[in-house]
Structure 1
Amino acid sequence: MNPAKELLNTWLLLSLIVFRFCISLDTISPNEPFKDGDILVSKGETFALGFFSPGNSGRHYVGIWYNKVPEQTVVWVANRDNPLNDTSGVLSINTRGNLVLNSKNRSTPVWSTNASVSSTNNSMAARLLDSGNLVLVLRDSENFAWQSFDYPTNTLLTFMKFGLDRRTGFNRYLTSWKSEDDPATGNSSLQIDPTGYPQLFLNKGGSPLWRGGPWTGQRWSGVPEMNQHFIFNVSFVNNQDEVTIVYSVNDPKIFTRMVMNESGVVARSTWHESRWFVFWYTPKELCDTFGECGPNSYCDPYDPNKFQCTCLPGFEPNSTREWYLRDGSGGCVRSQGVSACRSGEGFVKLPRVKVPDTSIARVDMSLSLKECKQECLRNCSCTAYTSADETRGGIGCLSWHGHLVDTRTFANGGQDLYVRVDVATLAQYSKKNGLIRNKRMLAVFVVSVTVTLLLLVSIVYWLVMRVKRRNEDENRMKNLFSGTSTSKYHQESREFDESTRNSDLPYFDLNIIAAATDNFSDANKLGEGGFGPVYKGLLDNHKEIAVKRLSRFSGQGVEEFKNEVGIIAKLQHRNLVRILGYCIQGEEKMLIYEYLPNKSLDFFIFDKTKRSLLDWGKRFEIICGVARGLLYLHQDSRLRIIHRDLKASNILLDNAMNPKIADFGMAKIVGGDQNEANTKRVVGTYGYMSPEYAMHGLFSVKSDVYSFGVLMLELITGKKNSAYYHDGPSSNLIGHVWDLWREDKAMEIVDSSLGDQSAKEVLRCIQIGLLCVQEYAIDRPTMSAVIFMLGNDTLLSYPKQPAFILKSTYNSKDKSISEGACSVNKVTITMINAR
Structure 2
Amino acid sequence: MRNETVLLLILLLSALLRSGSSSDTFNATQSIRDADVLVSVGETFVLGFFSPSDSGQRFLGIWYARVSGPTVVWVANRENPLNDSSGALSVDSLGNLIISSNNSASLVWSTNNSFLPAEVNSSPVVQLLDSGNLVLYQDVDKKVILWQSFDHPADTQLPNMKIGYKKTSSRTWSITSWRSYDDPRPGNCTYMADPTGYPQMFLYKDGAPHWRTGPWTGSRWSGIPEMRNKYIFNVFFVNDGDEFSITYTMINTSILSTLVVNETGTVDRMNWIEQEHRWTPMYSAPGEPCDYYNQCGPNGLCDPYKADQYMCSCFPGFQPRYPNHWSLRDTTGGCVRNTGASICQSGEGFVSINNTKLPDTSIAQVNMTMTLMECESACLRNCSCTAYASATESGGGSGCLMWYGELNDSRTFNIGQQIYIRVDAAELARETKMNSRNGDKKVIPEIMVPVLAAAFLLVLVFVILIIRHRRGGRRLPALWPRTPNNPSSVAKPLDTKELDRTSKSDAGLPSFKLSSVADFTDNFSLSNRLGVGGFGTVYKGVMSDGTEVAVKRLSEFSRQGDEEFKNEVNLIARLQHRNLVRMLGFCLEDNEKILVYEYLPNKSLDAFLFGWLTLSNWVGPICLDKSKKSLLDWRIRFDILTGVARGLMYLHQDSRLRVIHRDLKASNVLLDTAMQPKISDFGMARMCGGDQSEGTTNRVVGTYGYMSPEYAMEGVFSVKSDVYSFGILLLEIISGKKISSYYDEGSSTNLAGHFWELWKGGRCMEIVDESIAVDEPHSWKEVLKCIQIGLLCVQELPTDRPTMSTVVFMLGNETVLASPQQPAYTIRKKNNMGTTNNSSSDSAASINQATISIIEGR
TM-score bracket, normalised by the shorter chain, equals: 0.5 to 0.7
Which residue number corresponds to residue 240 of structure 1? 241
Which residue number corresponds to residue 127 of structure 2? 127
1:751 to 1:305, Cα distance in 2 relative to 1, 3 A: same
Tell whether 2:404 aligns with 1:398. Answer: no
Letter in 2 for 1:71: G
Q: Of residues 683, 700, 705 in structure 2, which corresponds to 1:569?
A: 700
Distance 1:467 1:280 in 2: 37
Asked if the contact 2:297–2:408 (Cα under 8 Å) also holds between the matched residues in 1, the reply is: yes
| SS of alignment partner, residue 201 of structure 1 | strand
Q: Of residues 436, 461, 486 in structure 1, which corresponds to 2:438?
A: 436
Tell whether 2:414 aligns with 1:411. Answer: yes
Tell whether 2:723 aligns with 1:600. Answer: yes
Letter in 2 for 1:423: A
Which residue number corresponds to residue 685 of structure 1? none
Tell whether 2:190 aligns with 1:189. Answer: yes
| SS of alignment partner, residue 255 of structure 1 | strand
Which residue number corresponds to residue 337 of structure 2? 334
Which residue number corresponds to residue 519 of structure 1? none
1:124: how far off? Answer: 0.2
Distance 1:83 1:469 in 2: 67
1:535: how far off? Answer: 7.2
1:575 to 1:356, Cα distance in 2 relative to 1, 3 A: closer
1:114: how far off? Answer: 2.0
Which residue number corresponds to residue 422 of structure 2? 420
Query: How does 1:191-590 map onto structure 2 within 5 Å?
Result: 191-229=192-230, 231-272=232-273, 273-412=276-415, 414-445=416-447, 529=647, 533-534=651-652, 548=660, 568-569=699-700, 576-577=707-708
Asked if the contact 1:269–1:280 (Cα under 8 Å) also holds between the matched residues in 2, the reply is: yes
Asked if the contact 2:39–2:128 (Cα under 8 Å) also holds between the matched residues in 1, the reply is: yes
1:56: how far off? Answer: 2.7
- Structure 1, residues 192-220: CA drift from partner, whole Å, max 9, x if none? 00111111111111111111111111111
Distance 2:331 2:407 in 1: 14
| Range moving further from structure 2, 325-334 or 449-458 | 449-458
Asked if the contact 1:44–1:130 (Cα under 8 Å) also holds between the matched residues in 2, the reply is: yes
1:602: how far off? Answer: 8.3
Distance 1:308 1:784 in 2: 39
1:67: how far off? Answer: 0.9
Letter in 2 for 1:174: I
1:569: how far off? Answer: 3.4
Which residue number corresponds to residue 499 of structure 1? none
Letter in 1 for 2:172: N
1:436: how far off? Answer: 3.0
Which residue number corresponds to residue 150 of structure 1? 151
- Structure 1, residues 110-136: CA drift from partner, whole Å, max 9, x if none? 111223343455310110011100000
1:602 to 1:240, Cα distance in 2 relative to 1, 3 A: closer
Distance 2:359 2:647 in 1: 53
Distance 1:302 1:459 in 2: 49
Distance 1:451 1:557 in 2: 38
Q: Compute the RMSD of aligned alpha carbons.
A: 4.9
Distance 1:572 1:155 in 2: 40
Distance 1:260 1:572 in 2: 36
Distance 1:570 1:790 in 2: 20
1:338: how far off? Answer: 2.6
Asked if the contact 1:163–1:192 (Cα under 8 Å) also holds between the matched residues in 2, the reply is: yes
Query: How does 1:778-789 map onto structure 2 within 5 Å?
Result: none
Letter in 2 for 1:209: H
Query: How does 1:617-766 map onto structure 2 within 5 Å?
Result: 626-627=739-740, 737-738=770-771, 751-752=783-784
1:603 to 1:467, Cα distance in 2 relative to 1, 3 A: closer
1:790 to 1:434, Cα distance in 2 relative to 1, 3 A: closer
Distance 1:784 1:254 in 2: 53
Tell whether 2:64 aligns with 1:63. Answer: no
Distance 1:717 1:71 in 2: 26
Distance 2:360 2:52 in 1: 38
1:211 to 1:49, Cα distance in 2 relative to 1, 3 A: same
| SS of alignment partner, residue 208 of structure 1 | strand
Q: Of residues 25, 28, 52 in structure 2, which corresponds to 1:27?
A: 25
Percent of counterpart pairs with the same letter? 41
Which residue number corresponds to residue 168 of structure 2? 167
Which residue number corresponds to residue 95 of structure 1? 93
Distance 2:503 2:61 in 1: 69
1:307 to 1:124, Cα distance in 2 relative to 1, 3 A: same
Letter in 2 for 1:738: S
| SS of alignment partner, residue 31 of structure 1 | coil
1:154: how far off? Answer: 0.2
1:603: how far off? Answer: 7.9
1:160: how far off? Answer: 0.4
Asked if the contact 1:382–1:401 (Cα under 8 Å) also holds between the matched residues in 2, the reply is: yes
1:447 to 1:738, Cα distance in 2 relative to 1, 3 A: farther
Asked if the contact 1:535–1:548 (Cα under 8 Å) also holds between the matched residues in 2, the reply is: no
Asked if the contact 1:82–1:111 (Cα under 8 Å) also holds between the matched residues in 2, the reply is: yes
1:246: how far off? Answer: 1.1
**TM-score using structure 2 length:** 0.57
Relative contact order higher in (CA < 8 Å, ≥ 6 apart): 1
Distance 2:308 2:236 in 1: 41
- Structure 1, residues 317-340: CA drift from partner, whole Å, max 9, x if none? 111111111111111111112313
- Structure 1, residues 443-487: CA drift from partner, whole Å, max 9, x if none? 345555778869989999999x999999xxxxxxxxxxxxxxxxx
Asked if the contact 1:30–1:121 (Cα under 8 Å) also holds between the matched residues in 2, the reply is: no
**TM-score using structure 1 length:** 0.58
Asked if the contact 2:303–2:411 (Cα under 8 Å) also holds between the matched residues in 1, the reply is: yes
Distance 2:715 2:391 in 1: 64
Distance 1:429 1:153 in 2: 49
Distance 1:170 1:784 in 2: 62
Distance 1:172 1:784 in 2: 57
Letter in 1 for 2:252: D
Asked if the contact 2:706–2:724 (Cα under 8 Å) also holds between the matched residues in 1, the reply is: no
1:392: how far off? Answer: 4.2
| SS of alignment partner, residue 366 of structure 1 | coil
1:379 to 1:461, Cα distance in 2 relative to 1, 3 A: farther
1:739: how far off? Answer: 6.2
Letter in 1 for 2:723: S
What stretches of structure 1 of length at least 5 have no aligned partner?
Answer: 1-17, 471-504, 506-526, 537-545, 582-590, 630-647, 659-714, 720-732, 757-782, 792-835
- Structure 1, residues 230-261: CA drift from partner, whole Å, max 9, x if none? 52211111122111111112332221000011
- Structure 1, residues 393-437: CA drift from partner, whole Å, max 9, x if none? 42211111211111111122x211100112222222223323333
Distance 2:682 2:701 in 1: 21
Tell whether 2:104 aligns with 1:106. Answer: yes
Distance 2:222 2:197 in 1: 15
